[in-house]
Chain A
């Protein structure tokens, strides 16, 4: 009975999606975006939309991201820490991390700093830096990396980045600030925020697993 209902609901969902799907045969004209990109000092149309025309959306999105990370912290913290080191130190990975990590970090900063000129931006830069931290955690052991990163201070850096983003957005709104420098600052701050967020997810899911 339940399965039939579920299949019926799925069929209904597909039926709802079909009319929109059939209208895809004729694609609408692309709205002119080059003027918008020039106004906001970007060469990348997507960056001009994300950090210019839809800036409030992006700011609130960063807020939602930070709020979800706070939720992950406070949900997983009461669960006990895993007794033995969750990710132990490994020699081979350590050697490879020595070679790969500088490239990963430089590439991530490059993506964040040139996101308004080409493909890139703060979010992918943060994700790349976060996976660099994952590599480092596998090489060093996650508890040692957490101590070396000073996790308490990282939290202040995260909230500081959000506060700076909001202040910059408000300043842009009040005084009409625009230009490439502002976009670079936005991208770097978003990159910092996303890096710390991915590190929080990585660390808390690895260390606080609870006991079943």
Chain B
């Protein structure tokens, strides 16, 4: 039951984040929406490693108790770091775009780049 609740929360966060990513106009808000979606995906994956009555996947606990699955946790460790790095990079690009085009709105940035392409 706990798995279902946590996984449902993760899916809800993903949908919410993608909604912000699609519907918001400013780049910073879009990136923050992506951030929320990524947090939801991480929550979903971590909730998969839950086992009822399980202990952390460490050697040293008395035998016979079920242990949580270490594999999703290891996958998520990678995802968190890559998420941090790519979010920093995309925010840097957003700052650079705002410096050049004096706007953060996605549609105006598209218009400006299209004008540049036509020239």
Q: Which residues of B contact A83 (CB under 8 A)?
A: none
Interface flag for A174 (CB, 8 Å) = no
Is B88 an interface residue when CB atoms closer than 8 A count as contact?
yes
Query: Which residues of chain B from 29 to 83 have any CB-CB distance to chain A below 8 Å in the complex?
Result: 48, 50-51, 56-60, 66-71, 73-74, 77-78, 80-82
Instruction: Tally A residues with Cβ within 8 Å of B.
Output: 51
**B99 contacts the other chain (CB 8 A):** yes
| Docked complex: A7-50 residues within 8 A CB-CB of B | 9-10, 13-14, 17, 21, 24-25, 27, 30-31, 33-34, 37-38, 43-46, 48-50
Residue in B closest to A62 when the chains form the complex, CB atoms: B81
Q: Across the A-B interface, how many residue pairs have beta carbons closer than 8 Å?
A: 125
Chain A residues, CB < 8 A from B73: 46
Say whether, besides A9-B22, A17-B14, A45 and B81 are in contact (CB < 8 Å). no
User: B50 to chain A: which residues have CB within 8 Å?
Assistant: 27
Contacts of B23 in A (CB 8 A): 3, 6
A192 vs B66: C-alpha distance when bound (angstroms) = 35
Q: Are B99 and A24 in contact (CB under 8 A)?
A: no
Interface string of B99-118 (1 = CB under 8 A from A): 10010000000000000000
Q: Does B28 make an interface contact (CB < 8 A)?
A: no
Residue in chain B with minimal CB distance to A72: B92
A197 to B58 alpha-carbon distance, docked (Å): 29
A68 CB, min distance to chain B CBs, angstroms? 4
> Once the chains bind, are B96 and A76 in contact (CB under 8 Å)?
yes
Does A30 lie within 8 Å of B89, measured CB to CB?
A: no
Q: Is A125 an interface residue (CB 8 A)?
A: no
- Return the CB mask of B1-41 against A: 1 if under 8 Å, else 0: 00110011001001100110011000000000000000000
* Contact yes or no, B15 A43, CB < 8 A: no
Residues of A near any B CB (own CB < 8 A): 3, 6, 9-10, 13-14, 17, 21, 24-25, 27, 30-31, 33-34, 37-38, 43-46, 48-50, 54, 57-58, 61, 64-65, 68-69, 71-72, 75-76, 78-79, 118-119, 121, 123, 194, 197, 201, 204-205, 209-212
Besides the known contacts A13-B15, A45-B67, A197-B85, 17 further A-B residue pairs in the complex with CB atoms under 8 A apart: A6-B22, A21-B11, A24-B7, A30-B69, A45-B70, A48-B70, A49-B71, A50-B74, A65-B84, A79-B96, A79-B99, A123-B80, A194-B81, A204-B92, A205-B88, A210-B98, A211-B99
16 pairs across A/B with beta carbons < 8 Å? A3-B23, A6-B22, A14-B11, A17-B11, A21-B4, A25-B4, A30-B67, A33-B67, A46-B57, A46-B73, A48-B70, A68-B85, A75-B92, A75-B95, A76-B96, A123-B77
